[in-house]
A and B are shown apart, each in its own frame.
Chain A
Amino acid sequence: MDPRFIRNFSIIAHIDHGKSTLADQLLLQTGTITEREFRDQILDDLDVERERGITVKARAVSLRYRYKGQEYELNLVDTPGHVDFHYEVSRSLAACEGALLLVDAFQGVQAQTVANAYAAINGNLTIIPCLNKVDLPVTRIDEVLEEMQTVLGFTDEETLRTSGKSGIGVDDVLQALVERVPCPSGNPTDPLRALVFDSKYDNFRGVMTYIRVMEGTIRPGMKIRFMKGGTNHEVLEVGQFRPNNVKCDELGPGQVGYFVAGIKQLTAVHVGDTVTEAGRIAAEPLPGYKSPQQMVFCGMYPIDATDFEKLREELQKMSLNDASFSFVPETSDALGFGFRCGFLGMLHMEIIQQRLEKEAAIDLIQTAPNVTYELLMMDGAVNRVDNPQDVPVSGNIKEFREPVVKVNFIIPADGIGPIMQLCNDRRGIYKSTEYLGPTRAQIVYELPLAEVIYDMHDKLKSVTRGYGTMDYEIIGFRPADLVKMDILVKGNKVDALATIVHRAQAEKRGRSLCKRLKEEISKHQFEIPIQAALSSRVIARETISALRKNVTAKCYGGDITRKRKLWAKQKEGKKRLKQFGEVEIPQKAFLSVLDTGDD
């Protein structure tokens, strides 16, 4: 395929601004899928994604479009829309020369609009701005155009009007892709260089490696080499996504597709690696990607200790399809043998956890997530700590450092006060305010990641009545006056409940945590004191009184079903219990650590 007739592009947008719907229209109007094959959001193929209506993993599809008598190949590389998956976005963008930037005609520019647009600009991509959902009953077209001009510098003239729902402007989009996005460069006869942007395990073919060819040509029979992985393989099949896998003879410069090379294990394929020809190795590998940084960690423990090996296998499976997820075995006095798992963010964590429960059917106890910390020790060593349990006694620590993020809020103007209050309460450092128009503003703060990940998004939504959005990026580690807070249940330290808190907030957090635990742990035969302590100094205490009475009075003919269901519900609440000494602690209690005590 002549690269002059190829265009590679992504669609970037804030969540819910209509990305998948527009993608479906592009597929439909280019005849890539028929009306009959049409189903909603065809690009999201993980169950979890379809349930949540968000795209998590990048995927690709090849469209054929005839323009002025010439057939073009338009390769759409899909991107995830959530803040946790910046890394995946950058991965997709590296395979493209252009991007469609969708902005909802009512909601306007939002935090991920800005973040994604900058990612595309930094990647030297040509951006085609689209005002999407223009057929909504209520729009703010003029104001949104002004926002796009103010924040991102796009003019009214270059901005297309589109609707994925009704198909308005889809042909304009296709034309603009051909006319505005540069065609890929690269010589088909040069030594092969192809960027690995994803991989997937297929039960019949083994590993399918998703690539974007930069230079040279890949075809079946060729011996290829992963430049970083250092392994050689013989190509058995190459193909394109149309949208199902369709074999082809070769993939040349600019083309996006997959190859199969009898690779049995996903671990052999590194996303970001460069594929070259074994006998004719390229001089330089492609720049590739930065490794994703796991910033959120939690412990996952099987309720039934005999499930440990099964859990290991399941985590292994998960990590094969998701390079940004990690796990290592750990032990807890309270919870026994389990794993410490690392994630890109909270959504990523929830998705993995849901998939584990759905696909593996293992009952899990999950500890409260925490961020990763950096400790400068007295002896000059710098240690990473992913688990509050691992924090050594404070005398050995010279400096306790936590990850700090730059948070970009886009909010209605009347939300500025509450947001600034919220950020100040959470140790934020104010950076800037910029008005996007008369009623909306962008505010930038630097905040400790730990203060952001748990519930900042919910809080933002509640103080802005749903209209505020946020995005953040890690800017590094900074020292802070942090301490480990232990929780004692009936006099015993429960390691899995330990948290790291700022000293100034310790008492408030301790009190609220003890109160939450009192609600979560049911009454026992005996009294249970719950204490929060810094080192050995108790800073908060609650007591769960002993169970003295719990009996349903009436249980006759008509009541039996109802009463049994009530009891069954009580039992459900007790299902995920972990026996700790004499005390049974339910799963939910471990997550109560997240309560920041604001309310």
Chain B
Amino acid sequence: MSGTSAEIRSAEPRSTNPVRAAYLHIPFCKHRCGYCDFTLVARRDDLIPAYLDALELEISRALPEPLEVTTLFVGGGTPTHLSASELSRFFDIVARWFVFTEGAEVSVEANPWGLTNDKIGVLADAGINRVSLGAQSFDAALLQQLERDHTAADIESAVERLRPRIPNLSLDLIFGIPGQSLELWNDTLDRAFALRPTHLSTYGLTFEKGTAFWSRREHGALAQTPDELERAMYATAMDRLPAAGYEQYELSNFARRGFACRHNQVYWAGQPYHGFGPGAARYLNGRRDVNHRSVTAWLRRIQSGQSPVGTTEELSPEDRAREAAVIGLRRVPGLNRTRFAQQTGFALDVLFGAALQKHRQRGWLEDDGEQIRLTREGRFVADSVVVDLL
């Protein structure tokens, strides 16, 4: 059986990479935080059993046989919102349909609050070897502002209890929270360093359309952090994290050597991946499908045998190249002329000559003739650079 599929693969053009990555979305949360626009439902735990059935149905329809993966990422929502028994049912499904290769990266997002030892046990037993913890901040007032349900102590406790079983830990941190000072941001960084995670992601708070934060800002009830302060916070992150041993490898991501998230690099390198669950995206054969974002619509569609896909996008080769450039530039090493041409069939200078020169002159890009990357200054205004590449 596997021999047959290997033959088929070898007969295909070299550009068709085997799919070795998968994303699974668990759309349940205790409540929705004011800034969050992810695909999730709060206070609908009654849907969890149906969701688990539907998830397995979706996977079984998409995969002819269990898939060998080098990275698997379980995101949410709050995956650890599921009870220990629900979680273990979830990972039974994972075990039936995914085979982890030797050294595979298997990540789960977790919330500090409610991460019981039972659940940690389920994760570790299921072969999870990386946990991304939604810490966000260590300041009580800011956590409240963000409508998070955990405390700094919850974060510390979760890390202590996780580490013996799953030592590869990442923390997500948010800066630019209304009311946050540079000093408070430095405090949060100090306390994050003290926990010695392998990986840190720092996100400038985004006001997403449709969120409570967005409408509060529209009504003047919430003030966006001034650009200058938010810039100083980002600058602080870019200074302090490398000094503490976390090398920046993407605009928002820093890691100790060898601990960069491999799953996210699959996205950024334009490699294919499967996606399952409401709102999940997959990228197969050059086509990006995104499942229905509504949990109930996704459920209904799976249950009635329909495709769960909400939107589909297939880019022209040129648009694909442009997207590759935009995403690639967000990575610290930037774009390599030779590799870009091999991968996309387009020469960087032909596609973007004028824009590249403009941003070089502004000091936002640096170019050694082979590699083009954002300068430190360029990282503050990366959107202004990439917009010109589309």
Residues of chain A touching chain B, judged by Cβ–Cβ distance below 8 Å, are 525, 545, 547-558, 560-561, 564, 567-568, 570-571, 574
Contacts and interface: CB of A to CB of B under 8 A. Distances in A.
B357 to A, nearest CB: 14
A550 B381 contact: yes
Interface string B210-224: 000000000000000
B381 A547 contact: yes
B7 interface: no
Contacts of A570: 383, 387
A549 B381 contact: yes
B118 interface: no
Given A551-B382, A561-B290, A556 B206 contact: no
A555 B23 CA distance: 15
A547 B230 CA distance: 12
A548 B252 contact: no
Interface stretch (B191-199, B274-282, B299-307): B274-282
A549 B380 contact: yes
A564 B389 CA distance: 11
A547 B382 CA distance: 11
Interface residues of B, number: 41
A551 B327 contact: no
B206 A554 contact: yes
B203 interface: yes
Contacts, number: 89
B78 to A, nearest CB: 16
B155 interface: no
Contacts of B381: 547-551
Given A550-B384, A551-B382, A567-B386, A558 B203 contact: no
A159 to B, nearest CB: 53
Interface of B: 23, 39, 203-206, 227-228, 230-231, 234, 251-252, 264, 267-268, 273, 275, 279-281, 283, 288, 290, 311, 313, 323, 326-327, 330, 362, 379-384, 386-388, 390
Given A548-B227, A571-B387, A553 B204 contact: yes
Contact of B203 (A525, A545, A553, A568): A553
A548 B379 CA distance: 10
Contact of B380 (A548, A557, A564): A548
A557 B283 contact: yes
Nearest to B311: A561
20 contacts: A525-B362, A547-B381, A547-B384, A549-B228, A549-B234, A552-B251, A553-B205, A553-B252, A554-B203, A554-B206, A555-B267, A557-B23, A557-B280, A560-B288, A564-B326, A564-B390, A567-B383, A567-B387, A570-B383, A574-B387
Contacts of B383: 550-552, 567, 570
A11 B270 CA distance: 63
The 3 tightest CB contacts between A and B, nearest first, are: A553-B203, A558-B281, A549-B231
A558 B280 contact: yes
Given A558-B275, A560-B267, A560-B327, 8 more contacts: A525-B362, A549-B231, A553-B206, A555-B268, A556-B267, A557-B23, A558-B280, A567-B387
B387 A552 contact: no
Contacts of A560: 267, 281, 288, 323, 327
A571 B362 contact: no
Contacts of B273: 557
A586 to B, nearest CB: 13
Contacts of A558: 23, 39, 275, 279-281, 290
